[in-house]
Structure 1
Amino acid sequence: MTANEAFPVRLEDIWLRRELIDREWSDRDIARCVKAGLISRVRFGAYVDSALWSAASDLHRYRVRSRAVLRTAHESSVLTHQSALAEWDVPMWRIDLTEVALTRTDEKAGRRESLIVHHSGRLPLEHITLRHGVPVATAARTAVEILSVVDLELGLVILNGLLNLRRTTPEEVARLARQTEHWPETLNTRVALSLADSRLQSVAETRFVYLCYRQGLPRPEPQVEVLDESGFLIGVVDFLWRKHGVFLEFDGRIKYEIYRRPGETLADYLMREKRREERICQATGWVCIRIGWADLENPTATARRILKLLASRGAPAA
């Protein structure tokens, strides 16, 4: 799930009940329009045009609900945690979009009610920004917040997503992490920063780095350019163990959707990929190992397969 699709619902497209009443609508009028399919109820007391709502993805609907909550919340409220993350345009892999997360800058005690989490804690002004016209936690603050409430693999995916899109920097995240050392699960943040790499371009690539970390595999170089004898670019490999002469490539539909050329069929793309791989192997003497999403779900077997290949190439595998 990604957030960078065109967002179809503007802040002013959300109508609150009190605003409709001010325009001389009655509750019966609102109910009739909902029943007739003219407007859709986003949450209690908030509505949008049904055409906009039906065109919205699950992520966009979550962003609309977050905005609706923000419009009825205390004026000091700011979107934080997963609700802020949804505004930073990173892949929302495995992020729970059930609850809207807010933090009040007046430092009132936190509470949970009706699928809304009011987080407690200090939120300085320098940790707040406007994103798409909505007050949200900065990207660095959002990264640290997410890392404190999710597992390391997911937190690393989010951190690398923010770094790759240049929403923040490792230095900014590390500086904020030092300011929040009293938070729970700060170890996750320290480990994630040690593994973070802005060159990682996808969820799958970050998950593979995490697999290497957990399974004790030597850490490969990501996004390595391969040149021919004349210095022309042959291609870029996803990961390389240079000492072993082994490179790794991901298979998958997402890669095909990103890198296929206009009018190119799946068969054409696969043939072009095969020729690219052959040219790289011929030019370098390296060997290729390919994995897919399913291999990431079976990390022990995948690591064993890779270690076997690395060991067969002469250099020590770990």
Structure 2
Amino acid sequence: MDAYPISLDDIVLRGELVADGWTDRDIARAVAGGVLAKVRHGAYVDAGLVAPLDPVGWMRVRTRAVLRRAHQTAVASHQSALAEHEVPLWGLSLDETHLLRTDGRAGRREAGVVHHCSEVVDAEWIVRNGIRVTRPARAAIEVVTSESPEAGLIAVCGVLHNGLATIEEIQEAARRATHWGKSLNNRLVLARADHRLSSVLEIRMWHLLHDQRIPRPEPQVEVFDEWGNLLGIVDFLWEEPGVFMETDGRIKYERYRRPGETLEGYLLREKRRQEAICLATGWVCLRLGWSDLERPRQLARRLRTILARQERAG
């Protein structure tokens, strides 16, 4: 598969430019003039190719620049691999390239590259977008065992939701990683993982509910009217007290807006959907966003109060 627009061949090394007759002054002028973009020390690319890239896109380009110089058997891993699988990333450094050393040499960290010394068998890596990367299940566990549980949960749920691996495959990858650092994260993260969670905001909210010991809601619940017509899908539902939660994030606005629909039009349609669900069920709706995650204890108190009040009212 070669869907990514920038390939290994698009990366030009300083030595190759010099061999073609360039001087260091020529290279510097080309960078200053917007002809070449410097990816990392001694590696360049056509500036037009990288102009529209976001931070994850730039990380992917740097991965290719690193692989141009790496041992031919090196495999991109951790978030460098997840980016190639198009799994959402959160809470992870995008400034470093992660590689698995398969040449038997010790792992180390240098010049924006983290070399991991870890055994990887052929079944654990594939070629994606023209480069060798660890498979989604292993890449997710690599993040779980090196980063925070929250970042790891986002990686695992992203892999599950996108259908890139089954929970059994991720559990098997975790079993093989019991000797890695932070392997205790595996149990916590896998106990919380759910393929139904579809965005970083939903996953972070799910993580917060667990951490704050809020009763677990049911995610992504379809709601029908009395005639069996689908009114909508709510992000989280506490059915017994009759409370549902909706998360407001940019991705949701982009994903569910109809062609040509304005943001105001989408928000009005979303408000009417919420009202229809409340009228049909008698439930109470909470709308929460990114800012609510910054005050987890206050949010937990608010949720407990609302859930307890609805239980008494019921």
Give the TM-score of the pair, scaled to structure 1. 0.92
* Residues 195 and 315 of structure 1: CA distance in aligned 2, closer, same or farther (over 3 Å): farther
Distance in 2 of aligned mates of 1:16 and 1:93:
31
Aligned-residue offset at 1:59: 1.8
Greater shift in the superposed pair: 219-228 or 32-41 = 32-41
Residue-pair matches, total:
312
Give how far 1:29 is off: 3.7
**Is 200-209 or 254-263 further displaced after alignment?**
254-263
Equivalence for 2:12? 15
Aligned mates of 2:160, 2:312 — CA distance in 1 = 32
Q: 1:20 Cα deviation (Å)?
A: 2.7
Q: Which residue of 1 aligns with 2:263?
A: 266
For 1:76, which of 65, 69, 73 is the aligned residue? Answer: 73
Alignment pair present for 1:99 and 2:93: no
The 5 Å alignment of 1:175-190 reads 175-190=172-187
Which of residues 228, 232, 235 in structure 2 aligns to 1:231? 228
Asked if 1:148 is matched to 2:137, the reply is: no
In structure 2, the gaps of 5 or more residues are none
Q: Corresponding residue for 2:120?
A: 123
Q: Please give the alpha-carbon distance, in whole angstroms, between the structure 2 residues aligned to 1:35 and 1:204.
A: 39
Contact 1:11 1:67 in 2 (8 A): yes
Q: CA deviation at 1:179?
A: 1.4
Instruction: Give the C-alpha shift of residue 300 in structure 1.
Output: 0.8
- Between 9-18 and 140-149, the greater mean CA deviation after superposition: 9-18
Identity %: 51
Q: Does 1:199 align with 2:196?
A: yes
Are the equivalent residues in 1 in contact too, given 2:7–2:64 (CA < 8 A)? no
**Distance in 2 of aligned mates of 1:32 and 1:304:** 59
Segments of structure 1 that go 5 or more residues without pairing to the other structure are 1-5
- Tell me the distance in 1 between the aligned counterparts of 2:52 and 2:310: 52
Q: From 290, 301, 316, give the equivalent of 2:298.
A: 301
- What's the CA shift string for 1:205-237, capped at 9, x where partnerless? 111111111111111111100111221111000
Q: Residue 85 in 1 paired to residue 82 in 2? A: yes
Partner Cα separation in structure 2 for residue 63 and residue 166 of structure 1: 22
Whichever residue aligns with residue 125 of structure 2, its letter is I
**Which sits farther off after the overlay, 50-59 or 113-122?**
50-59
The aligned counterpart of 1:110 is 107
CA–CA distance in structure 2, aligned partners of residues 270 and 55 of structure 1: 29
Shift of 1:245: 1.1
Amino acid at match of 1:287: V
Over the aligned positions, Cα root-mean-square deviation in angstroms equals 1.9
Paired letter, 1:276: R
Distance in structure 2 (CA, Å) of the matches to 1:21 and 1:303: 61
Structure 2 letter corresponding to 1:107: G
Given that residues 77 and 103 in structure 1 are in contact (C-alpha distance below 8 angstroms), is that contact kept between their aligned partners in structure 2?
A: yes
Give the distance between the partners of 2:300 and 2:282, measured in 1 at CA.
23
**Which has the larger displacement, 275-284 or 9-18?**
9-18
Report the counterpart of residue 3 of structure 1 in structure 2. none
**Counterpart code for 2:188:** V
